[in-house]
């Protein structure tokens, strides 16, 4: 996310949360998935922001307002916001269909979705809701995602909730966590390891490859890795525990097994011996 969206503050609520129109949330890419939000005064961004402040390290440009959107077009926002239903009362047909377990797409025509209003002139107003509330912040004041520090605690809470909710398939949740979170991170860290640089512990000079002398050519200091084995295996054990506890697909299991074997071949290969250049003379 590298785009900011201009909005107007019209009030405050007793909660560590940003209440806004669904289109606004979708435009700034902060939907209901635990992402933290940020608000900045417009003139502060225009006057005081500079690319000189951006860190050069990896991820330094993440979530920065490099581009500012002044208007929100419903036809251009994320599909999640287009799937919102706008009915004040669900039709009886909807409840009858729930007994047949159809795919949600089969009921789109009777649910008055935002997507069906695009281009009709009704995509901005007339949004209904099914239940009133006396206080919009009557629920939790702060997301549990923020209160829980460790990733494993967050994962345990998420799957614990999935097990309790009858409408949720906890095995599907576990598979999605592995496929969309753990595996991409594991493979990304492994890729970073294979392309890493080496850093001098004295002068901080970085090298794409280790010099033949095995030390820094500038100051003679020792060189260390910039990406370590621990970062590669970071999510491997939590992912394996999910595989053991939940009935995920064989494909997902095999991907984890292959990844672990590949990592072990890098760090636990008994046939590989560390030799010095002088050993060849």
Closest CA to 237 of 245, 249, 226: 245
In eight-state DSSP terms, residue 69 is: E
In eight-state DSSP terms, residue 67 is: E
The 3-state DSSP composition of the chain as helix, strand, coil percent (nearest 5) reads 45, 5, 50
pLDDT bin (cut points 50, 70, 90) of residue 40 is: confident
CA end-to-end span of the chain: 54
pLDDT bin (cut points 50, 70, 90) of residue 94 is: very high
The count of other CB atoms within 10 Å of the CB of residue 162 is: 18
What is residue 141's predicted lDDT score, i.e. its pLDDT? 84
In the chain, where are the structural domains located? 1-81, 83-131, 146-267
Phi and psi angles of residue 113, each rounded to the nearest 5 degrees, phi first = -85, 160
Tokens of 166: 């009858």
pLDDT bin (cut points 50, 70, 90) of residue 281 is: low
- 110-124 per-position pLDDT tens digit: 999 999 999 888 888
- 224-251 per-position pLDDT tens digit: 888 888 888 888 888 999 998 998 889 9
- 153-205 per-position pLDDT tens digit: 888 898 999 999 988 899 999 999 999 889 998 888 888 888 888 889 889 88
pTM (two decimals): 0.64
pLDDT bin (cut points 50, 70, 90) of residue 272 is: low
* DSSP E strands, 159-229: 198-200, 206-207, 223-225
């Amino acid at each position: 996310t590298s785009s900011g969206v201009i909005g107007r503050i019209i009030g405050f609520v007793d909660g560590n949360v940003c209440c806004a129109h669904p289109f606004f949330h979708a435009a700034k890419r902060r939907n209901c998935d635990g992402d933290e939000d940020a608000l900045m005064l417009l003139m502060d961004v225009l006057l005081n922001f500079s690319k000189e402040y951006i860190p050069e390290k990896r991820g330094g440009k993440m979530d920065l307002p490099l581009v500012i959107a002044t208007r929100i077009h419903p036809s251009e926002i994320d599909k999640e916001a287009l799937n919102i239903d706008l009915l004040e009362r669900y039709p009886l047909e909807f409840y009858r269909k729930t007994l047949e377990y159809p795919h949600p797409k089969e009921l789109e025509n009777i649910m008055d979705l935002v997507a069906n209003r695009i281009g009709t002139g009704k995509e901005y107003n007339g949004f209904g809701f099914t239940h009133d509330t006396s206080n919009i912040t009557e629920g939790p004041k702060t997301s549990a995602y923020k209160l829980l520090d460790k990733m494993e605690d967050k994962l345990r809470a998420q799957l614990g909730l999935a097990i309790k909710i009858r409408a949720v398939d906890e095995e599907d949740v576990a598979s999605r966590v592995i496929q969309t979170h753990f595996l991409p991170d594991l493979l990304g860290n492994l890729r970073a390891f294979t392309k890493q640089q080496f850093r001098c512990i004295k002068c901080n000079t970085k090298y794409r490859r280790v010099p033949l002398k095995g030390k820094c050519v500038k100051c003679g200091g020792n060189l260390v890795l910039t990406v370590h084995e621990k970062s590669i295996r970071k999510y491997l054990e939590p992912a394996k525990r999910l595989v053991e506890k939940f009935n995920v697909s064989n494909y997902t299991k095999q991907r984890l097994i292959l990844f672990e074997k590949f990592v072990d071949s890098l760090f636990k290969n008994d046939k590989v011996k560390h030799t010095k250049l002088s050993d060849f003379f």
